[in-house]
Amino acid sequence: MTKGEARRRDVRHRPAAPLFFLAPALIIVFAVLIYPICFSIVVSLFDWPLSAGAGERHFVGFGNYVDLSADPEFWNSVKLQLGFIFIAIPIELLLGFAAALLLNREFFGAKIVRTLLLLPVFFLPILSGMTWRFMLQPRYGPLNALLISLGVPEMTWLGNPLMAYVAVIVQDIWRMWPFMFMLLYAALTNIPAEMLEAAEIDGAGFWRRLRSITVPMLVPTMLTGLLLRIIDALRVFSEVYVMTEGGPGNATLLFSLYTQRQAFSYQKVGMASAMAIFLLILSIVFAVTLVRKNMSLDVLEEKAGG
C-alpha cells in the first residue's frame, strides 16, 4: 500500500466524533453569520421594496451597486462616516492614553476617580444623543447658558452644518474615550515594573521610557482598541439620529443613517443591502489592514523589542 493510499484510508476511517462536536458551533456560525451575509448579497441584487404595497421584487443584477456609485449622497455619507472615524477615534485614543498614564499610580480616591471616568461608556447611545441635543439647544441648553454668562452670544450648534458635525463627533468622543482608557489602563498595569525601573536606573527619562517601553508594549492593545472602535463607529446610528436626524441638510447623514433611510423611508431594501455589503467590505479592509499587518506575532514581537 502506497503512502497516498494509506492517507486516504486514514481519512476515510477518521472518527466522526470531532465533526459531531463541531456541528453545533458550525450551525450557529452559519445561521448568525454566513447565512445573513449571503442573504444580504442576494437581496442587494434585487429591486426589493420593503412593503408589498410598493411593488414587486425583481432581479436587477448589479444595478443597485451602479446606482450607488452614481449617487452623490452615498459618497457624501461615506465621506462623513470616514471623517467621523478618522477624527473621533484618534482623539479618543489620545485622551484614553493620557488618562491611563495619569491614573496609573495610587493616590487617595484613585479607584473612585477611575470608576467615575468610565461612566459615559455605560450611557445608552440614544440617551447620550438626547442629552447632547438638549445641552446644545439655544435658549435653555446649559452650554449656551454658559456662553451667555461669559458674555459670548449663544449659538445654534445643531443648526450649522459644520458645528452639527463637530457636535456629533464631540459627543462620540465624550462617550467612548473612557473605553480606550479602560483598555490602555489595564495594559499599562501589566507592563513589568522591573523593566521600567531598570530603564530608569539606566538613566532613561520619562519620555524615553514612554517611547521605548510603554508605547511599544501597548501597541497590541491600542490596535485592538482601534479595531473595536472602528467597527463600532462604522455602525454608529442612534445617537446621531436623535441628535440631528442627519441634518441640517444632509450635513450629518452618516453612512448608517443613509442606509436606514434607503431601507425604511424609501422602501429600497435592495439598495440598503448593497450599502450593507459595501460597509462589510470596508470593515474587512480595516480589519485586514490592522490585524494582518500589525497584529501578527512577528510584527508584535518586533515592535515590543522581542
Partner 1 sequence: MKRTALVALIALVVLAGLGAQTINALFWDDAYPRALMEMIPEFEKATGYKVNIEILQPPQVFTKTSVAVTKDSTDYDLVCVDEGNIPLFASLFETYDKWPAGKKYPKLDPKTVTPAMLDVAMWDGKLVGLPINGNLYVWMTRKDLIENAQYKKDFKAKYKYDLGVPQTYQQMLEMGTFFNEKGISAGFGPFNGGPAGVFGEAIFMWSGFGTTFIDQSSGKPKVTLDEKKGAEAMEFYKKLMAISPKGAETMAHAERQAAYAADPKGIFSMFIWPAQIAGYEDPDKSLVAGKIVYSAPPAGPNGKRYAMRGTWAVNIPLASKNKAAAAEFVYWWGSRDIAMRLVEKNTVPARTDALTDPKWASKPWLAAIADSMKSAAARPRFKEVAQVQDIVKKYWIMGITGQMPCADAVKSIVKETNDVLAKAGY
Q: Which residues bind partner 1 (CB under 8 A)?
A: 50-55, 137-140, 144, 154, 156, 158-161, 244-245, 247-250, 261, 264-267
Q: How far is the CB of 50 from partner 1 (least distance, A)?
A: 4
What cell numbers appear for 125 in the block?
447611545
The residue whose grid cell reads 453569520 is: 33
Phi-psi region of 154 (alpha: psi -120 to 50; beta: other; left: phi over 0): beta
Minimum CB separation of residue 64 from partner 1 in Å reads 13
Residue nearer to partner 1 on the CB measure, 131 or 294: 131
For 43, residues 6+ apart whose C-beta sits below 8 A from its C-beta are: 269, 270, 273
Give least dist CB 272 to partner 1, A: 12
Which is closer to partner 1, CB of 94 or CB of 148? 148
CB of 43 to partner 1, least distance (A): 14
Q: Report in angstroms how near the CB of residue 143 gets to partner 1 at its nearest.
A: 12
| C-alpha to C-alpha distances, 8 to 2, 62, 180, 196, 303, nearest whole angstrom | 10, 43, 51, 56, 44
User: Which one, 54 or 91, has the nearer CB to partner 1?
Assistant: 54
In terms of CB distance, is 55 or 90 closer to partner 1?
Answer: 55
Question: Which is closer to partner 1, CB of 57 or CB of 235?
Answer: 57
- Interior/surface letters 164-177, b for 16+ CB within 10 angstroms, e for the rest: bbebbbbbbbbbbb
Measured CA to CA, the distance from residue 107 to residue 30 in angstroms comes to 50
Cis peptide before 248 (omega within 30 of 0): yes
**Is the C-alpha dihedral spanning 270, 50, 127, 242 positive or negative?**
positive
Q: How far apart are CA 79 and CA 28, in angstroms?
A: 35
Do the beta carbons of residue 226 and residue 92 sit within 8 Å? Answer: no
Q: At its nearest, how many Å lie between partner 1 and the CB of residue 60? A: 12
| Residue 145, CA atoms < 13 Å, CB-side half-sphere | 5
The answer to whether 274 and 68 have CB atoms below 8 angstroms apart is yes
CB of 235 to partner 1, least distance (A): 19
CB-nearer residue toward partner 1: 47 or 92: 47
Residues 170, 175, 177, 181: what is their CA dihedral angle, to the nearest 10 degrees?
160
- Closer by beta carbon to partner 1, 154 or else 232: 154
Nearer to partner 1, 30 or 266 (CB): 266
CB 159 to partner 1: min, Å: 3
- On the CB side of 51, CA atoms within 13 Å amount to 6
